[in-house]
Amino acid sequence: MATRDLPARVRDRLTAVRRAVLRRRRLLAVLCTVGAVAAGLRATAPPAAPTEQVLVAVRDLPAGAVLDGDDLHTVEVEPDRTPDGVLTDAEDAAGAILAAPLRAGEPVTDVRLVGPDLVDSAPGTIALPVRVSDAAQVGLLEVGDEIDLLATDPESRTTTTVASGVLVLAVPAPDQEAPDAIPGRLVVVGIPVATVADVTGAAVTSFLTYAWTSR
């Protein structure tokens, strides 16, 4: 009996499926149309624009900050929006010292780090770290200041100008681990090659201070 009823049950099931399809034919037609349109759009859509990875600051960072992995992250940008000298590898920036403040989301470039690339912003000069005798004086400086470097001889008590119109390139944070025998504080300046010997010699024999350049 069950065997004789099997064809009838199959016919009934097929009839039910056909009726369900007919009842929903409009919905199925719409779905098929949407699928076809989506496939066509994917086929004709232009390829994704190329991007490059660059390092940007996670948060605002002050001048003199020593960079580590928590300070930076990688973002994708269009090639024509990538600044020159931008860093792309966090390992290249790890341990570097910021020469100037960096805003959150701002790319990290070579001229923002303490090093020889700083002089790119001051053609005709070289970057030279000098130790100003009064650390508090250095705290008044900002990147971009123009100063005259003054040397005071402790024996003759005379002061001379050893370099004029010096550009402040970086103001590193104080080294808390520096021995007490080394007073003052370092500042990185851009000076002409011809004045390097005078400045470095004065830094050893005299007290170095500065005066802002008159404009």
Q: Over the chain, what is the mean pLDDT?
A: 78
- Cβ burial 133-158 (10 Å sphere, 16+ → b, else e): beeebbeebebebebbbbbeeeeeee
Flag whether the pTM goes above 0.85.
no
- Choose which CATH entry (3.40.720.10, 3.40.50.1100, 3.30.930.10, 3.90.1210.10) describes domain 52-112: 3.90.1210.10
Tokens of 174: 């104080």
Tokens of 141: 């400086």
- Contacts for 47 with CB less than 8 Å, ≥ 6 apart: none
pLDDT digits (tens, 9 = 90+) for 67-82: 887 888 888 888 787 8
Q: Are 162 and 195 in contact (CB under 8 A)?
A: yes
Q: Which of 194, 189, 147 is nearest to 169 (CA)?
A: 189
215 pLDDT higher than 60: no
In the chain, domain spans: 2-44, 52-112, 116-212
Tokens of 66: 């020593």
210 pLDDT higher than 90: yes
Confidence class for position 211, pLDDT limits 50, 70, 90: very high
pLDDT digits (tens, 9 = 90+) for 113-172: 877 677 776 677 888 889 998 989 988 988 888 899 999 988 888 999 999 888 888 888
